[in-house]
Amino acid sequence: MFLTLSSKVFYIKVAIHLAAFLPLLNLYYLAFIDQLGADPVESVINFTGIGAFNLLLLSLSVSPLAKKFKQGYLLQVRRLLGVYAFVYALIHLFNFLAFDLQFAWSLFFNEVVKRPYITIGMLAFVLLTALAVTSINHLKRKMGKSWQQLHNVSYLIVMLVGVHFYWSVKSEIITPLFYLLLATILLGFRYKKLKKLCLSVFIRKKR
């Protein structure tokens, strides 16, 4: 029995919800029963940060996969992946504020200013927040063509997150380099689009 396109989208979205939510539930359960090792705070922060990056990369992979396998309905799950990327990034930031800094806001702002990897991370989070807020259908319709222009920032976000990840590690750099390579490959599929965007920005500046 063949599934309709709407059924396929529904089941994929259910799978995304489960795959995104259940690991978070398990993470905090392990933290609650003290099963996250010697430094549970670092474990929670790292898990949510990498989870946000994974979801960003997945959201960028949807278009190439849909085009390659001629499965246009996959584009309907891209927004959900992006929203979950924001959720993970928000929890990542909250964990850092609550458990690492204990809501010492002056210390937080000093960290943002003094530590480049946190500066880059916060810039990526602010931009990701703008994308999450404007993913609401009402705002999308209201923004018109400017909506797509704003959401092209996702390409910049994924590189900022990659740099944030690379600069945040102290010794083991293979994993962040691998993630940066994945991000570069995914952006490479959009070479023509990125070239067009860069040209349009250059033309505007010349004017």
Structural domains counted in the chain:
1
Which residues make Cβ contacts (< 8 Å) with residue 57, sequence separation at least 6? Answer: 158, 179, 182, 183, 186
Average pLDDT over residues 112-118: 96
Which residues make Cβ contacts (< 8 Å) with residue 139, sequence separation at least 6? Answer: 133, 147
Average pLDDT over residues 145-170: 92
Q: What is the pLDDT of residue 207?
A: 61
Average pLDDT over residues 6-21: 96
| Length reported for the chain | 207
Average pLDDT over residues 150-171: 93
The string of pLDDT tens digits covering residues 59-77 is 999 999 999 999 999 999 9
Q: What is the pLDDT of residue 197?
A: 78
Q: What is the pLDDT of residue 60?
A: 95
Spatial separation of the C-alpha atoms in residues 192 and 174, rounded to whole Å: 29
CA dihedral in degrees (125, 146, 199, 178; nearest 10)?
Answer: 30
Place of tokens 């960028």: 60
Domain of residue 72, residue span:
5-206
Q: What is the DSSP letter of 4?
A: P
- Do residues 82 and 63 make contact, with C-beta atoms less than 8 angstroms apart? no
Question: What is this structure's pTM?
Answer: 0.93
Q: What is the pLDDT of residue 76?
A: 94
Q: What is the pLDDT of residue 83?
A: 96
Helices (H) and strands (E) in the chain, counts: 10, 0
Res 1 pLDDT > 60: no
Average pLDDT over residues 194-206: 72
Place of tokens 């040209």: 199
